[in-house]
Amino acid sequence: MARFKSLSLEEILKMLGELTPLEETRAYKELVAKGVTIGRQEGRQQGRRREARRLVLLQLQRRIGAVPAAQQRRIAALSVEQLESLGAALLDFRDPSELDAWLADH
| Domain locations in the chain as residue ranges | 21-105
Residues of the chain with pLDDT under 50: none
Quote the pLDDT of residue 1: 56
Q: Which of 65, 68, 63 shows the shortest CA–CA distance to 92?
A: 63
Mean pLDDT, the chain, rounded, equals 87
Query: Given phi > 0 = left and psi -120 to 50 = alpha, else beta, which region is 16?
Result: alpha
Please give the share of the chain, as a percent, with pLDDT higher than 90: 55
CB atoms within 10 A of CB 63: 17
Quote the pLDDT of residue 36: 73
Helix (H) or strand (E) holding 26: helix 26-64
Fill in the amino acid letter for 4. Answer: F
Helix (H) or strand (E) holding 104: helix 96-105
Kindly report the backbone phi and psi dihedral angles of residue 37, in degrees, each rounded to the nearest multiple of 5, phi listed first: -60, -45
